[in-house]
Amino acid sequence: MPDGRVDFVVVEKPLAAWTRFWNIGAVRKTFLLLVLAGLWEGYARWLNNPLLFPTFVDTLKAFFSGIASGELPRAASYTIQLLLKGYVAGLAIAALLTAFASATRIGADLLETLTSMFNPLPSIALLPLALIWFGLGDGSIIFVLIHAVLWAVALNTYAGFRAVSPTLRMVGQNYGLSKVGYVTRILIPGAFPSILTGLKVGWAFAWRTLIAAELVFGVSSGSGGLGWYIFEQKNQLLIPNVFAGLLTVILFGLVVENLIFRTIENRTVRRWGMQV
């Protein structure tokens, strides 16, 4: 080559439009959802038994009429409110426990012992006891929610603190940070990947526990959340509504995981290169 250029090697060229389109995760996932919905519709039509397995279209209809009547949004907002109360209370207790564990050795032993005792215990198993202690109503549910959130968050946060590298710790001490500054500006950001994992796991545990508690025990019968909605519709054999209730539960899960937690992840640990 007279000018020293090599023509047959691609140095850099834009990918084809279709490849770029397919590289977007949301596009691939939407495609999968459409396929699943199609399979659902096909199977339900073939089965032709709306009492056992309503079609996707019927479920959507029930879903939208549930929204229009205000019944689903009311149930959902009740559930979310309860969930947030339990979640926040759980986080606060987890923060206290982790602080105690980080400050003293006996605190660390306490956290490890309590976690290994209570983490394997499904929260829902505590509900009968909670009903005796706190009676029918929100108190019992919040109690089991705290149990669902607390151990996952405390354990992950504590593990994250311990995994902050000795070099970073020494750097933190070098610049004369106060005790509080050291925790908030070195330990918490340094442990953030683990903390985030704890928050996600805690959220998932809480969500499942709550729906199950409402569903199985009808604890919140007075006002009624999503679980109660599902339970009631089943009693009236309104199966499409049951499916609509389940769909709502799934939608919340998707939104929280893919919008809220994913956004936090992209803005923090991924951008910082602490997680790929």
Partner 1 sequence: MLAVRGVTLQYRTKDHLVTATYRVSFSVLESDRFVVLGPSGCGKSTLLKAVGGYIRPVEGDILLDGSPVKGPAPDRVFVFQEFDQLLPWKTVKENIVFALTASGKLARRAAEECAEHNIAKVKLSEFADSYPHTLSGGMKQRAAIARALAMEPRILLMDEPFAALDALTRAQMQEELLQLWEETKFTVLFVTHSISEAIRIGTRILVLSAHPGQVKAELKSGACDEAALQELLFDA
The widest CA-to-CA distance across the chain, in whole angstroms, is: 90
What is the token pair recorded at 269? Answer: 């640990």
Count of residues touching partner 1 (by CB under 8 A): 21
Contact (Cβ atoms closer than 8 angstroms) between residue 94 and residue 149: yes
Closest distance to partner 1 from the beta carbon of 48 (Å): 57
Residue of the chain from 10, 16, 170, 180 that contacts partner 1 (CB under 8 A): 170
* 175 near partner 1, rule: CB under 8 A: yes
Residue of the chain from 168, 216, 250, 254 that contacts partner 1 (CB under 8 A): 168
Dist. CA 269–CA 166, nearest whole Å: 19
Select from 74-82, 85-93, 182-190, 207-215 the region that touches partner 1 (CB under 8 A). Answer: 182-190
Contact (Cβ atoms closer than 8 angstroms) between residue 53 and residue 47: yes
* 195 near partner 1, rule: CB under 8 A: no
Closest distance to partner 1 from the beta carbon of 199 (Å): 17
Closest distance to partner 1 from the beta carbon of 176 (Å): 5
* 173 near partner 1, rule: CB under 8 A: yes
Residue of the chain from 47, 84, 95, 171 that contacts partner 1 (CB under 8 A): 171
Select from 70-78, 165-173, 199-207, 235-243 the region that touches partner 1 (CB under 8 A). Answer: 165-173
Contact (Cβ atoms closer than 8 angstroms) between residue 110 and residue 101: yes
Dist. CA 91–CA 212, nearest whole Å: 21
In degrees and rounded to multiples of 5, residue 191 shows phi and psi of -95, 10
Listed in sequence order, the residues at least 6 apart from 100 whose beta carbon sits closer than 8 Å to its beta carbon are 107, 110, 111
Give CA torsion, residues 7, 13, 17, 20, to 10 deg. 140
* 272 near partner 1, rule: CB under 8 A: yes
Closest distance to partner 1 from the beta carbon of 87 (Å): 25
Binding stretches for partner 1 (CB under 8 A): 165, 167-168, 170-171, 173-177, 181, 185-186, 189-190, 192, 268, 271-274
